[in-house]
Structure 1
Amino acid sequence: MADITLSAAVRQNLLTLQSTADLMSNVQNKLATGKKVNSALDNPNSFFTASGLSNRANDLGTLLDDMGQVVQTMKAADQGITSITKLVETAKAKANQALQTQSQYERAQYAKQYNDLLKQIEDVSKDSSYKGKNLLAGEGNDLTAIFNEDATSKLTVSAVDYTDTTLSGGLNLQDLKEAKGGASSLQIEGGKATITFTNTSGNTLTSGSLISDATSLDTGDVLQLRTAASGGGSIVSGTSAITIGAGTTVQNVVDEINKAAGVRAEFDEKTGTLTITSNDNVFLRNTDGGAATPAPADLASVTANNYTATSQLLMNSGSFNVGDTLTLEDGNGYELGSLEVGKTTTVEDLVDFIKDFNGVSASFNTGTGKITIESDVSLTLKSDNKDFAAAAFTADTDGVNVVAQQDSGFASDEAINKTIDRLNNALSNLRAQASEFGTNLSTVEIRQDYTKKMMNTLQEGAGKLTLADTNMEGANLLALQTRQQLASTSLSFASQADQTVLQLF
């Protein structure tokens, strides 16, 4: 190349074209990249300053992503608290429903439903996690949001533990005791005997007639209701010996027999028949006959046996009488229902009556003659008949009682009110915690917006240092293209001077 000689004009135009090409390349690069500073060689001060600004913006972008995940974690916890609050309000409604009824069975059902709701509260708390972090699961789940590059600006959100409702630092809601039932039995037994009182004329006596008018009795005789035949055993508890006097009537004898628990004496005015019905063996005995009476003897003998069939009439037991009202009550005195005993009421009718109620079952054992009563809650079967459920001539003062192994946590009004107080406290705690989470969430979201704007400011500042003015660079490119064309034309003119030499040949 050194051996080639160019004229000064050609060389000058060539240099101009080369310079223009370099300028065009530079402008085209700016237009292509959009930047006027692409490397430290372009402008070291602007390049490194812009790099610092861009790097900080990128760091804040990473923090912004982390803040977004913090927001999502807090939203998951907030949704959990919202659902837990609804469940606690539902539990409170159950407690109020229990308070509005006196039925132990219904209260026991509400207590069970209450416990189910507490289990759901714990499950919701455990399910309120986001990417392994759960603000409702207590220790080890505290959440930290970092707002600047050196972590000197941050917010720590403390976790609470609702995964166990019994924790005093959480909801402090205890599981209620659930009712555990019990059982009891009622012995159904009985027998009857009759004796007809007539006078020497063969006429039947009435209740107002003197008992001494009976053909088998006389003044001075002593009548006793005994526990064994032929004068054995003892006088039935509750009764006394009747010494027949001048004014002793048939009704006096009936009244004395009826003093025995589990024994019923009825006198039929039409037939003059005394019927003795008893749960246990009893014997009406003339124990002290005078010279004009027969030797001591049993006037009536009642042999009582256990019932062996559900079709047997209750009337054949000393515990029942026509018109008796049997009442079934729970431990709160809440009446489940009542049954009036009639002439045709059977054991089966009584069993059906008992087991007709929720949580209560009854069965009759034909071998033992017992009605077994099972109940989810404490229960009492009682009668307005003082002889009801009497055994061994001892009265049953409070009926047949089924004592539950355990009453429900809603058994009493006091217990329900205590539970409602705990629920109110839990609701207050939940609302306060929701408010705290809401404040933290708002803080993080505000810092998110701030970080976005700061990133934009940093990126804008970096852009002002490095971004090209495309309008200006476009105009520069157009000018350079024009210059290039002019330089090419000028080079052509300069070359023509050398080309004239060829015309000599």
Structure 2
Amino acid sequence: MPDITLSAAVRQNLLTLQSTAQFMSGVQNKLATGMKVNSALDNPNSFFTASGLNSRASDLGNLLDDMGQSLQTIKAADKGIQTITKLVETAKAKANQALQTQSQFERKKFAEQYNDLLEQIEDVAKDSSYKGKNLLAGDGNDLTTIFNEDSTSKLTIEAVDYTDTALSQGLNLSDLAEGQGSATSFQLQGGKVTLSLTDGTSALNSSSTLSQSNSISATTTLQFVDNSGTAPAALSGTSITAGATVQDLVDGLNGVAGVRAEFDDNTGELTIYSDEDIYLNDTGATVGAVLTIDGDNAEVDAAAFTATSQLLSNSGSFAVGDTLTLTDGNGYELGSLEVDEETTVDDLENFINDFNGVTGKFDTSSGKLNITSDTDLGLTSSNSDFASSSFVADTDGVTISALSDSGFSTDTKVNRVLDRLNTALSNLRSQASEFGTNLSTVEIRQDYTKTMINTLQEGAGLLTLADTNEEGANLLALQTRQQLASTSLSFASQADQTVLSLF
């Protein structure tokens, strides 16, 4: 194809249009991408500097996500400590409640509730994890939060272990002994005999001498003998001469443990109650010979009670007016029962069963009242002959020593627990404060990182982002230039076309 020759004016206008089109393309690209530096070709220095800034911003952005997860882990532990603190305060309230009562049974129940609270504390500690990390579960759960891209700035939070309340480096709160009760039994037995003391025509009174009786001679010396026909040590010194009064005989009988005598001045009747077999004889009589008074043997055949309907007052251990009292090991009185003419074994059994933690059951085959108690227990009587055996008084009554006492059984034990609870609360509050400080630190660094990322991105933008206002104005100017160049080209072409007018 032969060369086409353009005039200088046309060529200049074409060059201008090409240059303007190239500039417009660049401006349009900037407006389309919003970037004035899209590649290293645009501006190597700005491009690589901005790339470094954006890379660091991206690294910090990844760390920002980790910081957010660390915050949630700390918050989970903080919520756990708040809940544990409330549970420890509740446990302290239980200990204070125990101090407000002397009842060992109530204290035993408070100890059981205290142990339940410790179990809940351990459960809360175990449940305070977030994404497998638990700051309340001890070893292996330390939390490290990294704040910069080269890991030179970081915070390590050491985990504590509250999953076992007994740990000395944790809460140091051990489970309390809940106590284990025990049992005992005592014999309900007795018998009685009623004798008439008369002079043959009228009844004797308490001031009458025994020799006035038509059954007792002036030379008789009475002695109390057990069923073996002897006077054991427990009955020694109980001889009564015939010259003594009826009241002396009554007093002598009442001086024997487990034996009770009652004399009616109106009828002259002497009633003898005894827990053991006992009889009166003359010291000069044949061994085993029972004294006979007005045709009745002066002998009491005692036997174990066999029915709950039997009257307590038919035993030498009980008398009308006696007061039976139940107390626990702290001396706390559970209740009392006053014996009257109609008080039966069943009444005594029901009395014992009226109280929490105590059970009484009468065995009709053995005549024993079996008592079980969750705590130390004592059943005492105002009658010194209560629960006597073999003519020996049981001055301590019936006692039960529990196999083990509860951790709240005494004030000293309760106060010891309260001291530990106060220490645990102090430690919890200190640990909560430490976690709070760590939480604030991470939040502050998180905010700082957000600001730093923004600063880096802003700096990168200053190097690479286009000014849309400026580029818009440039595009408008280029469009104007393009229009003018097109017009100029048209004029140049028209000048070249004037030659056609010659043809």
TM-score range, shorter chain: over 0.9
Q: Secondary structure at the match of 1:407?
A: strand
The answer for the alignment partner of 1:339 in structure 2 is: 337
The answer for the alignment partner of 1:152 in structure 2 is: 152
Q: Secondary structure at the match of 1:165?
A: coil
The answer for the alignment partner of 2:218 in structure 1 is: 219
Q: Secondary structure at the match of 1:237?
A: helix
> Aligned partners of 2:500, 2:369: CA distance in 1, in Å?
144
Q: Secondary structure at the match of 1:277?
A: strand
The answer for the alignment partner of 2:237 in structure 1 is: 240
**Residues 299-310 of structure 1 correspond to what in structure 2 (within 5 A)?**
299-310=297-308
> Aligned partners of 2:2, 2:257: CA distance in 1, in Å?
149
Q: In the alignment, is the contact (CA less than 8 A) between 1:268 and 1:274 conserved in 2?
A: yes
Go from structure 1 to structure 2 and tell me whether the alpha carbon gap of 1:203 and 1:2 turns closer, same or farther (over 3 Å shift). farther
Name the stretch that deviates more: 490-499 or 364-373: 490-499
> Aligned partners of 1:420, 1:388: CA distance in 2, in Å?
41
Go from structure 1 to structure 2 and tell me whether the alpha carbon gap of 1:2 and 1:336 turns closer, same or farther (over 3 Å shift). farther
Q: Secondary structure at the match of 2:167?
A: coil
The answer for the alignment partner of 2:46 in structure 1 is: 46
Go from structure 1 to structure 2 and tell me whether the alpha carbon gap of 1:264 and 1:8 turns closer, same or farther (over 3 Å shift). same
**Residues 8-157 of structure 1 correspond to what in structure 2 (within 5 A)?**
8-157=8-157
Structure 1 position 404, deviation (Å)? 0.9
**Residues 376-455 of structure 1 correspond to what in structure 2 (within 5 A)?**
376-455=374-453
Given the alignment of the two structures, is residue 269 of structure 1 paired with residue 269 of structure 2, yes or no? Answer: no
> Aligned partners of 1:181, 1:191: CA distance in 2, in Å?
33
> Aligned partners of 1:2, 1:225: CA distance in 2, in Å?
167
**Counterpart pick for 1:297 among 291, 299, 309:** 291
Q: Secondary structure at the match of 2:404?
A: coil
Letter in 1 for 2:231: S
Structure 1 position 240, deviation (Å)? 2.8
Q: In the alignment, is the contact (CA less than 8 A) between 2:133 and 2:141 conserved in 1?
A: yes
Letter in 2 for 1:258: N
Q: Secondary structure at the match of 2:166?
A: coil
The answer for the alignment partner of 2:460 in structure 1 is: 462
Name the stretch that deviates more: 478-487 or 67-76: 478-487
Aligned residues: 497
Q: Secondary structure at the match of 2:179?
A: coil
Q: In the alignment, is the contact (CA less than 8 A) between 2:280 and 2:290 conserved in 1?
A: no
Q: In the alignment, is the contact (CA less than 8 A) between 1:280 and 1:392 conserved in 2?
A: yes
Q: In the alignment, is the contact (CA less than 8 A) between 1:222 and 1:241 conserved in 2?
A: no
Q: In the alignment, is the contact (CA less than 8 A) between 1:211 and 1:250 conserved in 2?
A: yes
Structure 1 position 223, deviation (Å)? 1.1
Q: In the alignment, is the contact (CA less than 8 A) between 1:287 and 1:296 conserved in 2?
A: no
CA-based RMSD: 2.0
Name the stretch that deviates more: 136-145 or 481-490: 481-490
Go from structure 1 to structure 2 and tell me whether the alpha carbon gap of 1:500 and 1:310 turns closer, same or farther (over 3 Å shift). farther
> Aligned partners of 2:329, 2:202: CA distance in 1, in Å?
54
Letter in 1 for 2:213: A
> Aligned partners of 2:328, 2:364: CA distance in 1, in Å?
27
Listed one character per residue, the Cα deviations across residues 426-446 of structure 1 (whole Å, up to 9, x for unaligned) are 111111111222222222222
Q: Secondary structure at the match of 2:405?
A: coil
Q: In the alignment, is the contact (CA less than 8 A) between 1:236 and 1:260 conserved in 2?
A: no
Q: Secondary structure at the match of 2:180?
A: coil
> Aligned partners of 2:398, 2:2: CA distance in 1, in Å?
133
> Aligned partners of 1:211, 1:250: CA distance in 2, in Å?
6
The answer for the alignment partner of 1:171 in structure 2 is: 171
Structure 1 position 401, deviation (Å)? 0.9
> Aligned partners of 1:2, 1:344: CA distance in 2, in Å?
151
> Aligned partners of 1:225, 1:489: CA distance in 2, in Å?
157
Q: Percent identity?
A: 68
The answer for the alignment partner of 2:469 in structure 1 is: 471
Name the stretch that deviates more: 62-71 or 328-337: 62-71
Structure 1 position 14, deviation (Å)? 3.2
> Aligned partners of 2:269, 2:497: CA distance in 1, in Å?
169
Q: In the alignment, is the contact (CA less than 8 A) between 2:240 and 2:252 conserved in 1?
A: no
Go from structure 1 to structure 2 and tell me whether the alpha carbon gap of 1:2 and 1:443 turns closer, same or farther (over 3 Å shift). farther
The answer for the alignment partner of 2:247 in structure 1 is: 251
Unaligned runs of 5+ in 2: none
Go from structure 1 to structure 2 and tell me whether the alpha carbon gap of 1:425 and 1:2 turns closer, same or farther (over 3 Å shift). farther
Q: In the alignment, is the contact (CA less than 8 A) between 2:290 and 2:299 conserved in 1?
A: no
> Aligned partners of 1:17, 1:348: CA distance in 2, in Å?
126
Structure 1 position 377, deviation (Å)? 0.7
Given the alignment of the two structures, is residue 260 of structure 1 paired with residue 259 of structure 2, yes or no? Answer: no
Q: TM-score, length-normalised on structure 2?
A: 0.94
The answer for the alignment partner of 2:186 in structure 1 is: 186
Q: Secondary structure at the match of 1:422?
A: helix
Structure 1 position 102, deviation (Å)? 0.6
**Counterpart pick for 2:352 among 339, 354, 366:** 354
> Aligned partners of 1:321, 1:66: CA distance in 2, in Å?
84
Listed one character per residue, the Cα deviations across residues 78-134 of structure 1 (whole Å, up to 9, x for unaligned) are 111111111111111111111111110111111111111111111111111111111
Letter in 2 for 1:267: F
Structure 1 position 338, deviation (Å)? 0.5
Structure 1 position 238, deviation (Å)? 3.7
Q: In the alignment, is the contact (CA less than 8 A) between 1:47 and 1:466 conserved in 2?
A: yes
Q: Secondary structure at the match of 1:490?
A: helix
Name the stretch that deviates more: 20-29 or 459-468: 20-29
> Aligned partners of 2:357, 2:238: CA distance in 1, in Å?
48
Letter in 2 for 1:216: S
Letter in 2 for 1:443: T
Q: Secondary structure at the match of 1:234?
A: coil
The answer for the alignment partner of 2:362 in structure 1 is: 364
The answer for the alignment partner of 1:285 in structure 2 is: 281
> Aligned partners of 2:446, 2:356: CA distance in 1, in Å?
59
Structure 1 position 25, deviation (Å)? 1.5
Structure 1 position 10, deviation (Å)? 3.9
Q: Secondary structure at the match of 2:198?
A: coil
Structure 1 position 242, deviation (Å)? 2.4
Unaligned runs of 5+ in 1: none
Go from structure 1 to structure 2 and tell me whether the alpha carbon gap of 1:493 and 1:271 turns closer, same or farther (over 3 Å shift). same
Q: In the alignment, is the contact (CA less than 8 A) between 1:225 and 1:235 conserved in 2?
A: no
Letter in 2 for 1:253: L
Q: In the alignment, is the contact (CA less than 8 A) between 1:239 and 1:259 conserved in 2?
A: no
> Aligned partners of 1:205, 1:390: CA distance in 2, in Å?
31
Listed one character per residue, the Cα deviations across residues 209-240 of structure 1 (whole Å, up to 9, x for unaligned) are 111101110112121221127xx243572453
Q: In the alignment, is the contact (CA less than 8 A) between 2:329 and 2:375 conserved in 1?
A: yes
